[in-house]
Amino acid sequence: MIPTLHFGRTGHESTRTIFGAAALGDVTQKEADATLDLLLEHGINHIDTAASYGESELRIGPWMATHRRDFFLATKTRERTSESARESLHRSLERLQTDQVDLIQMHALVNPENWDTAMGPGGALEALVEARAQGLVRFIGVTGHGVEIPSMHLRSLGHFDFDTVLLPYNHPMMQNRRYAADFNTLTELCGFRRVAVQTIKSLARGPYPEGQDRTHTTWYAPLEDQSSIDKAVHWVLSNPQVFLNTAGDIRLLPKVLDAAARFDAGPSGEMMADLIAHESMEPLFV
């Protein structure tokens, strides 16, 4: 079974590997239900979806009648104003067939202008705080991509006491000195304040080469070989503070869960250097 860890200060013991439900964005309900069986088989107890993940919330909804208590349920909104964020959350609750989500996250909050809108008067944060007071959500988080996101999360945590953050974390990204420094500063603060740190893009091999057909539903080229996935997953899990959100493709999910279930220790620097060379890995964000 995959080990668990305190999910920040939420009181929930989440599996170190969280199901990234972007993988359900373009699948049938039958495929989604088979994915639920796999999650239950591995003891996964945390689902992370978003309003913008295609049909994902609709695919999860039918599970909630019998499995709501089995999962810490998180979703996201990309809306930046109070009114639109409120509407987005209520739509997500309807699609997820539940009267409460455990975590609502302001999604992809990277652009400074969008940040000012979301955090300011009449912004999305107002609606999410209101929803928490109403019992529609329990906790509030913030997510984002790109090299700037650790510093933007630090700015967000300076403005509001968020319960969670989510951002990219893999070996190639951490070779960027600026990103690594900001990431480490962020996680140090999160550790002090008991803010849960979720990580994404563990399997990112790099952008799809121009003109190459996409082989997976991830928007980046992912690692596919089990041995390579093992190294990438074990490298992330070797950081005892972070959670790994699985890649957005149901075909990759069994390999990621298999790797996570066998985690014992992180790979050596030499092993990671060999992986990067063998897979021609490069940072997804520069």
Mean residue pLDDT across the chain: 97
Query: pLDDT grade, residue 211 (50/70/90)?
Result: confident
Residue environment code for 96-105, b if the CB has 16+ CB neighbours within 10 A, otherwise e: bebeebbbbb
> Do 160 and 118 meet the contact criterion of CB atoms below 8 Å apart?
no
Residue 284 placed within a domain: no
The set of residues, in sequence order, having a beta carbon less than 8 Å from that of 159 and lying 6+ positions away, is 119
Closest to 141 (Cα-Cα) out of 198, 58, 98: 198
Q: What CA–CA distance (Å, rounded) separates 132 from 100?
A: 9
Q: How far apart are the first and last CA of the chain?
A: 36
Residue 285 placed within a domain: no
Q: What CA–CA distance (Å, rounded) separates 18 from 201?
A: 13
Residue 50 placed within a domain: yes
Residue 153's domain spans which residues? Answer: 4-279
Closest to 188 (Cα-Cα) out of 120, 249, 241, 266: 241
User: What is the CATH number for 83?
Assistant: 3.20.20.100
Residue 79 placed within a domain: yes
Residue reference for tokens 């972007």 = 22
Question: Which stretches of the chain are DSSP H helices?
Answer: 29-41, 56-60, 64-67, 82-96, 112-119, 124-133, 149-159, 177-193, 226-237, 253-261, 269-279
Does residue 127 register a pLDDT over 90?
A: yes
Residue reference for tokens 């996680």 = 187
Number of domains within the chain: 1
Residue 286 placed within a domain: no
**What average pLDDT does the segment 130-144 reach?**
98
**What average pLDDT does the segment 208-216 reach?**
89
| Predicted confidence (pLDDT) per residue in 139-177, tens digit | 999 999 999 999 999 999 999 999 999 999 999 999 999
Query: Is the model more confident about 212 or about 203?
Result: 203
